[in-house]
Structure 1
Amino acid sequence: MRLPTWLAHHLAALRALLVFTVLLGLAYPLALVAVGRLPGLANRADGSLVRAGGTPVGSALIGQAFTDADGHPVPRYFQSRPSAAGDGYDPTATAASNLGPESVVDTIATDPAQSTPSLLTQVCARSRAVGELDGVDGRRPYCTADGVGAVLAVFRADGLTGRITRVVSVNQAAPATPFLSTYRGVPVVPAEPGVDYVAAGGIVTPIRGDAPAEPAVPADAVTASGSGLDPHISPAYAEIQVARVARERGADPTAIRRLVEQHTSGRSLGFLGEPAVNVLALNLALDERFPAR
């Protein structure tokens, strides 16, 4: 007996569904699990977990913060690169800030909790904090001494031309003292919360300042990676932390530098990327070789 065409089509579709369910829903995942159990691959399949005393303390592939309960850096540890993934290094929220080089004006709300710093201010604040923590010059071009973007909104009589009528330091909220007292003879005033000076016609004018062209604090210390999970820092960032870590642990800085070198990986394939230091592995080695006093 020949089945009706519509029923034959439905049965064929059902058979295909069952076959692909078995292949892709059962056989394929189980095959990948089996491959992940092969010698040499098991550690990678488990997330490259790092253990101390048999207890998992992190992953060699995912960064983490070395801070206290209040979020302050623990001085005896090397600090990681900033993260924009969730609350920091969250693999379920891996992401960048999506802020670019044109993000130089903060959103200053009446409620400070609603204020949003620009990328420039984030970089300035991080550089200042790193400078204070590690005893180096934290100044950067286009940053104020108090760690925000040095940006003015300049108002002119005829919009883009004409005499300057008003100047506002857009990232310093009243009653802060502006980083410049005057701009081209016109007094600079602090910003009022809730006012959009760009929409009001102000010309965004970053001020470079007198910071060195090559900041002492390297770029990876003040910017997050694209994933927000980078477990590495640059050798340059590690170097400016050596003196602090050595002091906190009562160790010879030369010995700390040697340990940094041992945990520095070279370029991939000899030419891709840059040398990098795995922060978690380095800090675990510190705890083993130079326990905190």
Structure 2
Amino acid sequence: MFARLPGWARQHLAALRILLVFTVVVGLAYPLAILAVAQLPGLRDRADGSIVTDAAGRPVGSSLIGQSFTDATGRPVADYFQSRPSAAGDGYDPTSTSASNLGPEDVVDTFDDPRTSTDDESRQSLLTQVCARSRAVGEADGVDGRRPYCTVRGVGAVLAVYHAGPGFSGRVTKVVSVNELCPQRPFLVTYGGVPVTCRTLTDDIAAGQRVLIRGDAPARPAVPADAVTASGSGLDPQISTAYADVQVARVARARGLPAARVRSLVEAHTSGRALGFLGEPVVNVLNQPRLGVRLAAAAELGRPDLVDLVER
């Protein structure tokens, strides 16, 4: 019967049969087979999202996705080990996973100029973000938050140095602290014998020679790098053991526990290097409910703004 059909019709029927076969195999059989395998013992928890629950068995997040442990005003809660920063959406948004895409050359802040736009165009440079985070961690955890090329106020210590000659030659005529907007007092009094001034919105920063001032910060900052930089995905729930160690004293003090006890719990929940040699040992902060931390149920997983923190 099909032999009597025109060639184009036979081709369409063959394509339809292939479509039906692949729909059954790829669209039904394969997903059901994978679902069945995922329900095997040892795999089911991961397949279901690696959900973390509190002491009452209520879901509070996923051990695969980080979240912020903050109060209603956005301030870090002292009772909890804090996660590393996140550049994914408003923070740890799995629908907007990303990095900041800012590099080491991003050291100059942008200040909003209401004369040119009604939108807020202000933006912190990567350097200032790192400086501000390091200072905040230092204050919260009682450690030295100073970092090279950061001011004591927590912004990038960057100068724009203007010269009398062409390019960057000749005597210095003007020096501006590019990340300190007037009337802020500059972090440095003079440079090259010239007084340092705060930045105004009319300063042409690009015309000056960019100079970073290292300052007197220790060569190896007390605040580790993962405490001040976001991960590539913005979703990592792990922090380094160095960052966990920095937070032990604060968490122990806030919970009324001996620091040695909290440190032993951290060590018990530390994961070693992948395959024994890849990466560094890390601590998953989403496992805090297993460290004795109790969280109330959240309306949506992975949304720290919807998580209600309650006492243990």
Q: CA 1:13–1:195 in 2, change beyond 3 Å: closer, same or farther? A: farther
Aligned to 1:114: 121
Q: 1:58 aligns with which of 57, 61, 75?
A: 61
Contact 1:78 1:245 (C-alpha < 8 Å) held by counterparts: yes
Question: What SS class does the counterpart of residue 43 from structure 1 fall into?
Answer: helix
Whole-angstrom CA distance in 1 between matches of 2:262 and 2:162: 53
Whole-angstrom CA distance in 1 between matches of 2:175 and 2:7: 79
Q: CA 1:22–1:251 in 2, change beyond 3 Å: closer, same or farther? A: same
Aligned to 1:8: 10
Q: Greater CA deviation, 145-154 or 26-35?
A: 26-35
Question: What SS class does the counterpart of residue 153 from structure 1 fall into?
Answer: strand
Question: What SS class does the counterpart of residue 177 from structure 2 fall into?
Answer: strand
Q: 2:185 matched to 1:177?
A: yes
Deviations along 1:175-231, one digit per CA (max 9) or x if unpaired, are 111111111011211122375512xx2222111111100001011110111111111
Q: 2:95 matched to 1:88?
A: no
Report % sequence identity: 67
AA of the residue aligned to 1:193: L
How many residue pairs were aligned?
Answer: 289
Q: 1:265 aligns with which of 266, 271, 293?
A: 271
Aligned to 2:249: 243
Q: Greater CA deviation, 278-287 or 149-158?
A: 278-287
Aligned to 1:133: 140
Aligned to 1:153: 160
1:166, CA displacement in angstroms? 1.7
Deviations along 1:104-161, one digit per CA (max 9) or x if unpaired, are 1111113594311111110000000000001111000000111011111112221222
Aligned to 1:144: 151
Which runs of no fewer than 5 residues in structure 1 stay unpaired?
Answer: none
Whole-angstrom CA distance in 1 between matches of 2:185 and 2:216: 18
Q: Greater CA deviation, 249-258 or 7-16?
A: 7-16
Aligned to 2:224: 218
Q: 2:168 matched to 1:166?
A: no
AA of the residue aligned to 1:258: S
Contact 1:259 1:282 (C-alpha < 8 Å) held by counterparts: no
Q: Greater CA deviation, 276-285 or 236-245?
A: 276-285
AA of the residue aligned to 2:90: D
Aligned to 2:49: 47
Question: What SS class does the counterpart of residue 161 from structure 1 fall into?
Answer: coil
Which runs of no fewer than 5 residues in structure 2 stay unpaired?
Answer: 295-309
1:292, CA displacement in angstroms? 5.3
1:2, CA displacement in angstroms? 3.0
Q: 2:200 aligns with which of 183, 192, 198?
A: 192
Whole-angstrom CA distance in 1 between matches of 2:205 and 2:86: 30
The CA RMSD measured in Å over matched residues stands at: 1.8
Whole-angstrom CA distance in 1 between matches of 2:102 and 2:70: 25
Whole-angstrom CA distance in 2 between matches of 1:140 and 1:93: 30
Whole-angstrom CA distance in 2 between matches of 1:223 and 1:45: 30
Question: What SS class does the counterpart of residue 171 from structure 2 fall into?
Answer: strand
Deviations along 1:236-279, one digit per CA (max 9) or x if unpaired, are 11111111111111111111111111111111121111011111
AA of the residue aligned to 1:91: P
Aligned to 2:106: 103
Question: What SS class does the counterpart of residue 17 from structure 2 fall into?
Answer: helix
